[in-house]
Chains A and B, each alone.
Chain A
Amino acid sequence: MHHQYRLGIDAGGTFTDFILADRDGGVRIFKTLSTTQNPTQAIRNGLALIEEETGISPTTLVSNADLCINGTTVALNALITHTGAKTGLIATSGHEDSIEIRLGHKEDGYRYDPDYPPATMLVPRYLRCGVRERVLSSGSVHTPLNEDDVRAACRHFLAHDVKSVAISFVWSVLHPAHELRAAAIVREIMPGVQITIGSQLYPQVREYTRTSTAVVNAYLAPILGRYVAAVDAYFQDLGARQPVRYFQSNGGLALSAVVAEKPVYAINSGPASAPRAALYLGESYGLKDIITVDMGGTSFDITLTCGGEANIAKDIDFLRYRIGVPMIQVETLGAGGGSIGWIDAMGLLQMGPQSAGSVPGPACYGKGGDKPTTTDANLVLGYLNPGGLVGGRLPLDVEKARAAITTHLAAPLGISVEKAAYGMFTIVNNNMVNAIRRVSVERGYDPRDFVLNCAGGATGAHITALAREMGINRILVSKLASGLCAFGQIISDVRYNYMAPIAARLEGATTAKRLNDTFKQLEAQGHADLAADQFGPERISIRRSLDMRYVGQVHECTVNVDPFDIDEAALERLKAAFHGRHKELYTYAEPQSPVEVVNIESAVSGAMDRPARMTIAPGQGAHAALLGTRQMIFDASGVAQDTLVYEGARLGAGDVVMGPAVIQEVTTTIVLEPGWVAELDRHGVYVLILGQHVAQHNKALIPA
């Protein structure tokens, strides 16, 4: 009986989504307001809501669930609001300032802006203590650790009530002993303080990245530690059979002890489950190359999987802090339903990144907002139901939307309100297309080879237009689209990343052996960690990646490979993979040039059982779900046409809807532009195909 349910909880900025899957293929979404001040409260509220709607008490639910999974924004919020712990940094003397120097760079886009502020320091300068010690690039010790300096730093920290300490030394990755000894001293003098060690958290070459990652981690560790302890305790009280799993930004689950120690792995976990969900939906059709777009109220997140693998980003600036550890690459754009349209100093129409948020919200919400937003445009274009969103619980005022667009955009530009609305729609789509290029074209992928997957409540209105702009002719839209990320979490695996620096030219038997041995060591550690969590070897899989470059280049290019024994001959395989990837990304390769590897990584995953797929009864034909017609605008002329509107809840498996049309689901609205055809499959996924491609894709796409 205890395998009846699986529960996923994804805390977003505004809403906390609950996904409840049962073993018979039932999947339901529940939403409560997030409680940022007391994050566990939202979980209690959500379980109470589930009890109210289903009669299943929190105890029954949790004690009969095989897994409870939590995606949390606790760390993210602390980083956004700068409310982490008081943190001190112990660094190599002379290098205390690298996190403030930030490589001497100011972000692009603000070059001549006199008001753009420097990034807030998570560790102010007076809490950054240099100690005498130095390791060289060869790994040899130039100056031994001065332990008195470490003790002095500890006393200084105690005097300033520091709660968390990051230790990060130059070249510690090649000789961790100094950091480890310093940590021992800190532990002795400051018992109970949280300690983050750079070479253990992120054992890769690049001092600034490693120190910054360690500082972010130290800053978040106490607060996330308290959170997971509270959640663990709450679920234990409810009789949980398994420890709660937490979702990480690397797309995998982890135990509480791991995220408490390495919270930097959990800072952008929200959208990171999208690739997993996308692959799950695509599995029925053998699709592995998928771009997922997720539009919410204020932001638009894009993720990509190619060949069944998600794009991974390392060494990136996240909320203006350099983070090294691998994260699912999420391109985020300030483009959501609340994004405001405005005319810039040059006289050009722009959309966002300013957002009306949920208060006052779009003008059509009638809550006092008078700025024209994406949602207002979609309403004027006829895409949204004037009767309201979320099953009518949120009524919309068309006249307020028209007034806002007229006043701020149509009148100044001298065009009609309809044309202005279509313009807003076009520009927000175009912004999204440019952002999609950043995860595809800039990573060497042609978006036309991909399927588009729709996530988030606001995306459905844009999805066929986006596909048209990108030249994509197939789209997946799950009935669970508005909670797709929470769903992705409950079908994810446990995943940990293991890293090591190598810094060697890809030549000779010695290097081959060193690579081979290091990979084996990393993976042995992975096996041990997963074995401790009850994963047998048959459930464990490994993906390797190597950061390589031509000798003399400074940036590496990450190449993913399957595990194989690396001997001298196999080095050629690695080089060939690098040349190929370099050409994909940058239009050329230099096969004659020497190649070096800088860092290596193994991602070790423990497979979880999947819950059953959602099942939908066969339909009686789409006409049975027809609600009526509405005037809608589908091109720049601004001329409206009568368009059919269907109720998604009444469509069954195999039902086909021809565009132009709108399908209204309870938590999302799918707009089919002219030419698109949608078919609902038996697992609750709409497959959208551009008309001229229907015949050619029919066989491949619709499962027997």
Chain B
Amino acid sequence: MKRQNIDPITLSVVRGVLETAQREMTLTLEQTARSSVFNLAHDYSTALFNHTPEMILQGQDIPIHLGSLIPAMKAVAKFFGGDIHEGDLILHNDPAYGGSHIIDTCMYYPVFYQGELVFWTVCKGHLTDVGGPVPAGYNPNATEIYAEGLRIPPVKLWDRGFPRRDVMNLLLTNMRARRDQEGDFNALIGACQVGARALIGLMDKYGKLLVQDCIAELLDMAEAHMRKLIAAVPDGTYTGTAILEDAGHGFGDMEISATVTIRGDNCHIAIASPPQVPYFINSYEGNSHSGVYLGLMMFAQLPPPYNEGLYRCVSTDMGPPGTLCNARSPAPHMNSTTTPMETLTDAVRQAFEQAAPAKVSASWGHANGCNIAGWDKRHDEEYVTMVLASIISGAGATASQDGWHACGPECCFGALNSGDIEILEHSYPIIIHRYALMEDSGGAGKYRGGSGTVWEVEPLDGPMTLVTFGEGRRIPAMGAAGASSTLVAPKVGRLEIARGGKTQVITKNVVEKILPGERAANRNPGGGGYGNPFERPVAMVVEDVRNGLVSLDGARLDYGVIITDRTSLRVDEAATAKLRATA
């Protein structure tokens, strides 16, 4: 305890109140937002900042947002400089100011106490639409950010307590499904207010100075904790490399590498990636922070709470401006929170696997999903949404257990919520024919990766536009500690369109028109395995076969286990022993 005036008890109390404040903000967003991405999917984050502004608490929301709120808050505060007043409320989405992608809209509310700026309550959420030529924002044909939607640099939505109706109207006029977007803005504003209420209550009780000191102490403690973890890793330089698939853009596969340098209790993470491309997979620096921090967390495996102190001993270099992971305006970027972020995360994860092999878990399935749009005849209105159920992949296995089924994608790490299918069918004119686990989709390993999912949809009574995004359709999720799969095809994602008695398999990002009677099935990859699959106990392989998670071929090819038939599940012990010995 560096600060003499605070006692460990008050410190714990302050910590508890901060977490409660953040939790109440999150609850407000979840319960009131309109967009299914937002409230079903939990694709939002809430955070508290102090006046400097340093992040003092981030919720356990989506890792996509883990890092980018930090540079974004700083950029927003810098933009306004001294021009921040009580009753102001700032909106922003532009990656040039630290944002992730423009469909993620951030609200920043300065909390004043006795006339002085003390805190910021901040939240970010994925709207269903942000204008631009393609509904829901994912425009695979965009060669510039201007073709992806409305860029909003930091702008005051309230000015000293007065709502700027003109500004709000300007924004909403440029977005589809205006009522939904307006509802989501209200939800973000409500959440900021709820957080401010709790922080003011805290200061009323303990006084501003003591609360600030406790928070400074909490940041220092988080810093010390991360430094301890880093110090336990041998000094050295560790490199990880991952491949980003060409998902149809024609620029070829791309290599992203991460070099992690450990010196004592400091850690430097340097990213190298090819030049940016005129396709929506460029990541601006703020977004790349999220990928780097997620890779770091897959090593650190920390329980909450999370604050910026954790990252004080971590320096980053995203590579030269104008590269894929340090994109410069006007690079298109809409897909960046999943692609290339997940590949970037894999590279960092793999570098840490070299550094601390026993601690790091396998990669999770990458996101490859779809957005849908069309006309809802039931209410005579347009609909547009990202389908979260279409990106639910399998989790990576860890050093202690199989990966969770249906828990990914990697960039979300289980924080998503795919929504009830009846609610989706009630909200949009669609029929969801399948939402299920997939045989052989989990990566092979002593601990198996979690199963991916398939989401199959048919429009109810009119044409539907389906826009796919992401990757992970050729290269399966990376295993750890020597895991690898022989049977690769079922472990990667793809889009299958059934029309006219034929099934078309698509592994690129496309815009497709689907008619009633036709079906589109989006398959998501499973997670990577951990350890040598031939060391997986035979009984566990048999259980997986019994449960339809592994096929007879999968048992033989991936695990070296020969099972004679699916009914008796009898294991040919001799053949199995022989096969496993050859590996």
Contact = CB atoms under 8 A, between A and B. Distances in A.
Contacts of A124: 546-547
Nearest to B299: A112
B406 A100 contact: yes
Interface in B158-209: 177, 179-180, 183, 186-187, 189-190, 193-194
A126 B420 contact: no
A643 B546 CA distance: 67
A88 to B, nearest CB: 14
Interface in A116-149: 117-118, 124-126, 134, 136-137, 142
A118 B183 contact: no
A350 interface: yes
Interface stretch (A189-197, A551-559, A661-669): A551-559
Contacts of B183: 550, 552-553, 590, 593
Given A106-B413, A114-B361, A553-B183, A97 B20 contact: no
Interface in B496-553: 546-549
Contacts of B30: 555
A113 B9 contact: no
Contacts of B431: 134, 136, 142
A115 B190 contact: no
Interface stretch (B33-41, B254-262, B574-582): B33-41
B44 interface: no
Contacts of B436: 94-97, 101
Contacts of B13: 426-427, 430
Interface stretch (A179-187, A263-271, A341-349, A365-373): A341-349
A446 to B, nearest CB: 11
Nearest to A422: B9
A437 interface: yes
A586 B16 contact: no
A550 B419 contact: no
Contacts of B186: 588, 590
Interface stretch (A56-64, A205-213, A238-246, A527-535): A205-213
B417 A345 contact: no
A98 interface: yes
Contacts of B63: 111
A509 interface: no
The interface centre, meaning the residue of A98, A414, A598 with most chain B CB atoms within 10 A of its CB, is: A98
Contact of B406 (A101, A349, A350, A557): A101
A118 to B, nearest CB: 5
A169 B218 CA distance: 50
Interface string A530-567: 00000000000000000000111111010000000000
A511 to B, nearest CB: 14
Contacts of A206: 420, 422-423
Contacts of B486: none
A567 B433 CA distance: 38
Given A137-B426, A206-B422, A109 B435 contact: no
Contacts of B557: none
A426 B16 CA distance: 12
Interface in B390-404: 392, 395, 398-401, 404
A593 B224 CA distance: 50
Interface stretch (B101-109, B275-283, B301-309, B338-346): B301-309
Contact of B418 (A104, A113, A118, A585): A104
A442 B198 CA distance: 12
A317 B398 CA distance: 25
A423 B10 CA distance: 9
A125 to B, nearest CB: 4
A441 interface: yes
A349 B190 CA distance: 33
A553 B182 CA distance: 12
B329 interface: no
Contacts of A608: none
Contacts of B392: 101, 104
The interface centre, meaning the residue of A108, A557, A582, A636 with most chain B CB atoms within 10 A of its CB, is: A108
A112 B297 contact: yes
Contacts of B435: 94-95, 97-98, 101
B407 interface: yes
A593 B436 CA distance: 36
B456 interface: yes
B180 A552 contact: yes
Given A126-B548, A137-B422, A114 B400 contact: yes
Given A101-B405, A554-B423, A348 B15 contact: yes
A152 interface: no
Interface residues of B, number: 90
A42 B187 CA distance: 52
Given A100-B437, A124-B547, A550-B183, A105 B16 contact: no
Contacts of A419: 7
Interface string B21-54: 0001001101111111001101000000000000
Interface in A298-352: 345-350
A586 B420 contact: no
The interface centre, meaning the residue of A109, A110, A552, A588 with most chain B CB atoms within 10 A of its CB, is: A552
B411 interface: no
Interface string B423-443: 101110001011111000000
A413 B8 contact: yes
A111 B415 contact: yes
A94 B301 contact: no
Interface in B436-473: 436-437, 453, 456, 460
A117 B450 CA distance: 12
Contact of A170 (B17, B301, B421): B421
A103 interface: yes
A531 B283 CA distance: 67
Contacts of B474: none
B16 A111 contact: no
Given A97-B435, A104-B392, A209-B420, A109 B60 contact: yes
A204 to B, nearest CB: 10
Contacts of B20: 434, 437
B224 to A, nearest CB: 8
Given A109-B303, A112-B300, A346-B225, A94 B388 contact: no
A460 B209 CA distance: 34
Nearest to B397: A114
A171 interface: yes
B475 interface: no
B274 interface: no
A120 to B, nearest CB: 13
A587 interface: yes
A419 B10 CA distance: 12
B222 interface: yes
A503 interface: yes
A132 B27 CA distance: 38
B152 interface: no
A350 B187 CA distance: 33
Nearest to A206: B420
Given A103-B418, A349-B9, A636-B7, A553 B303 contact: no
Given A118-B405, A171-B422, A104 B548 contact: no
Contacts of B297: 111-112
Contact of B415 (A102, A106, A430, A554): A106
Contacts of B34: 550, 552-554
B216 interface: no
A32 interface: no
B270 interface: no
23 contacts: A95-B435, A100-B405, A103-B418, A105-B415, A111-B60, A111-B63, A111-B297, A111-B414, A112-B302, A114-B400, A117-B401, A136-B425, A208-B421, A347-B221, A348-B11, A419-B7, A503-B426, A551-B179, A552-B180, A553-B183, A554-B40, A555-B39, A586-B194
Given A97-B436, A105-B416, 15 more contacts: A97-B435, A98-B435, A103-B418, A104-B406, A105-B407, A106-B404, A106-B415, A110-B303, A114-B401, A137-B426, A207-B421, A208-B420, A441-B24, A588-B190, A590-B183
